[in-house]
Structure 1
Amino acid sequence: MEYRNLGRSGLKISAITYGNWLPGGDPKAAKECVAAALDAGVNSFDTADIYGRPDFGAGERVLGEALAGVRRESVVIGTKVCLPVGDGPNDRGLSRKHITESCHASLRRLGTDHIDLYQAHRFDADTPLEETMVAFADLVHQGHVGYIGVSEWTAPRIRVAAALATELRIPLVSNQPQYSMLWRIIEPQVVPACEELGLSQIVFSPLAQGVLTGKYPPGRPAPTDTRAGSERGADFVGRYMSEAVLSAVQRLRPIAEELGTNLARLALAWVLGRPNVASAVMGASRPDQIRDNVAALELSLDDEVCKRIDEALVDPGHGDLVERDADKTARMFDVMPAWRR
């Protein structure tokens, strides 16, 4: 396992972060996957208070149970706050009330006395950023939280938050964005800002919701037992399911085969080799998936291979299939969507 500093801090996290979104509320599957992650050297674990919905908090409870008995100092536990965990007007967002109450609820569910990395799951345009950052600062100064992070924030908002963090003397060290070969909207603005400010990226969906594994051949309907074949999963995967994108993914297969690997490892190795990336969040429903993901760390991609990857993702009829529009961060992720309010 490779360990990388998170931002300019002294905190080191594994290049693979275990995310417990996929096992959901299945304690047995989560325990097996967490054990496999620990055996592989993973020390970073990611969750959120919304995971497990409609049983809000189930993800945190399951992760806490799976880590019970593990030496607390040996792991880095991260969770998030912002998205709705109830029907009340204060059951969401980044107000002082919601952050404080959510933190204590997360501590209880995780079975710990501190959260190593507490992240703002989205930006809350209804709450002054000063209020949000002071609430985070109080939790840090009280010892309940070690480090602060954000998720899917735009570069300008990260800059303002970083200035407030410096003033409040708290460590803002990370951003958690979506990032993959196909989705690169953080590159023009977010990555340069974070490099300047001393934040790292902990990226999610490095396999583009499974599309970069090559399991969706062009010209065929998605199997019903896959994410793209389910009603909920299709909302996330749909943007990648065009014939042009699926055909481009298949053009990556010869590159992977020449390197003696598979498409999933190729995609993960690409992400882990990008500037400013500290770790990639990988979910798993089986222990063997953890071991397969970690094997990507053995793969190093040189400039020529990366050039071939970029060329494979250009379609003669559609042009560059990679999404690079930085403004989409604000439109799609950065501000809490109306349907989640």
Structure 2
Amino acid sequence: MEIRNLGASGLKISAISYGNWLTHGSQVEEDAATACVHRALEEGITTFDTADVYANTAAESVLGRALAGERREGLEIFTKVFWPTGPGGHNDHGLSRKHILEAIDGSLTRLGTDHVDLYQAHRFDHETPLEETMLAFADVVRAGKALYIGVSEWRAEEIRAAAELARELHVPLVSNQPQYSMLWRVIEDEVVPTCEELGLGQIVWSPIAQGVLTGKYRPGQAPPAGSRATDDKGGADMIGRWMRDDVLERVQLLAPIAADLGLSMAQLAVAWVLQNPNVSSAIIGASRPDQVSDNVKAAGVRLEADVLAAIDEAVGPVVTRDPALTKSPPRPAT
């Protein structure tokens, strides 16, 4: 497994990290989820990403039980805060001081640890002053409940403002967690240059575009039975944007590129995001251990310039690039 620094920080993480969004506590049974986590460990993955909102806190609990007994110093455990959990009361969401300080304690209990390595703001909160949010995160760090802080799906100007406050508060803001794949490149024009300047690394999610970049979805054909596109617990909604024939036709053009390299299409997709020097890790998910073993083979793969050009030619017409599509829930109307 390739090991990379998270941004400009001293924290080292596995280039492939394991995430349990849409799987643990919802789509797969706990035995299968635990088997996937154990396979990830066997394959050299040390970095595990979750969030309190995943399966309404159940995903954190499943991950905590799956990692029980492992050497804590050999793991990097990440979680996030923002979205509503529990009964969804008026203080059960957002990035207020109250919610952050209460949410971190709940996450630590579910994960079975006294600290997380990275605590992330799952979205930008337009209803809470950024100063309040950053001070609360600083207090979480100083209390030893998180070692580093990060954000997820924040825009460049939001990241810059947070980084300025983090410097003033002397806390390590080290990362952003955005969606990024061959098909979804909205971070490239603004977020990546800003993060490179500020020393933040990207921990990217959905590198295989919810499974579309595996090539298993064919234009003009029904999705395979049991695939994410047929899941009524949220998977079908997330993958829907890619289930157009023009996209699926372009994705099929990647098959010979992958074959020439001796890679599966999923491995090619994960390797592609790891070519971006600002990407510290790519998050993979799985419902079966063999999927983990397949995807980790992308670690350490180097794609030459001609291969990257061929990929751009194949999918270029259906790539989404607009930086404005990185956004958080809007401020409620008053």
TM-score if structure 2 supplies the norm length? 0.95
- Partner residue in 2 for 1:321: 318
- Partner residue in 1 for 2:141: 140
What letter is aligned with 2:17?
A: T
Deviation at 1:169, TM superposition (A): 0.3
- Partner residue in 1 for 2:192: 191
- Partner residue in 2 for 1:227: 228
- Partner residue in 2 for 1:289: 291
SS at match of 1:124: coil
- Distance in 2 of aligned mates of 1:119 and 1:59: 16
SS at match of 2:203: strand
- Partner residue in 2 for 1:204: 205
SS at match of 1:125: coil
SS at match of 1:170: coil
- Distance in 2 of aligned mates of 1:336 and 1:274: 30
Q: Conserved in 2, the CA contact under 8 Å of 1:185 and 1:323?
A: yes
Deviation at 1:51, TM superposition (A): 0.9
SS at match of 2:54: coil
Aligned residues: 327
Which of residues 279, 282, 301 is equivalent to 1:280? 282
1:76-91 maps to which residues of 2 (within 5 A)? 76-85=76-85, 86-91=87-92
What letter is aligned with 1:94?
A: L
- Partner residue in 2 for 1:305: 307
Q: Conserved in 2, the CA contact under 8 Å of 1:20 and 1:283?
A: yes
SS at match of 1:80: strand
Q: Which runs of 4+ in 1 moved over 4 A?
A: none
- Distance in 1 of aligned mates of 2:164 and 2:218: 47
1:176 aligns with 2:170: no
SS at match of 1:118: strand
What letter is aligned with 1:235?
A: D
Q: Conserved in 1, the CA contact under 8 Å of 2:22 and 2:235?
A: no
Q: Conserved in 1, the CA contact under 8 Å of 2:22 and 2:54?
A: no
- Distance in 1 of aligned mates of 2:148 and 2:172: 5
Q: Deviations over 1:231-267 (max 9, x none)?
A: 4323211111111110000011111111111111111
- Distance in 2 of aligned mates of 1:258 and 1:87: 50
1:59 aligns with 2:75: no
- Partner residue in 2 for 1:108: 109
SS at match of 2:228: coil
Q: Conserved in 2, the CA contact under 8 Å of 1:179 and 1:206?
A: yes
- Distance in 2 of aligned mates of 1:141 and 1:131: 15
- Distance in 2 of aligned mates of 1:23 and 1:250: 26
Deviation at 1:38, TM superposition (A): 0.9
Moved more, 242-251 or 219-228: 219-228
- Distance in 2 of aligned mates of 1:8 and 1:312: 33
Deviation at 1:230, TM superposition (A): 2.9
Identity of aligned residues (%): 61
What letter is aligned with 2:19?
A: G
SS at match of 1:327: helix
- Partner residue in 2 for 1:317: none
Q: Conserved in 2, the CA contact under 8 Å of 1:204 and 1:280?
A: yes
Q: Deviations over 1:29-71 (max 9, x none)?
A: 222111111111111000000111xxx2111111110111001
- Distance in 2 of aligned mates of 1:22 and 1:335: 20
1:154-169 maps to which residues of 2 (within 5 A)? 154-169=155-170
- Partner residue in 2 for 1:16: 16
What letter is aligned with 1:109?
A: R
- Partner residue in 1 for 2:244: 242
- Distance in 2 of aligned mates of 1:175 and 1:299: 23
What letter is aligned with 1:335?
A: P
1:226–1:267: structure 2 CA closer, same or farther, 3 Å change rule? Answer: same
SS at match of 1:313: helix
Q: Deviations over 1:62-114 (max 9, x none)?
A: 11101110011000000000001032000000000000000001111111111
What do you get for the CA RMSD once the two structures are aligned? 1.3
Deviation at 1:336, TM superposition (A): 6.3
1:111–1:337: structure 2 CA closer, same or farther, 3 Å change rule? Answer: farther
1:97–1:171: structure 2 CA closer, same or farther, 3 Å change rule? Answer: same
- Distance in 2 of aligned mates of 1:190 and 1:29: 36
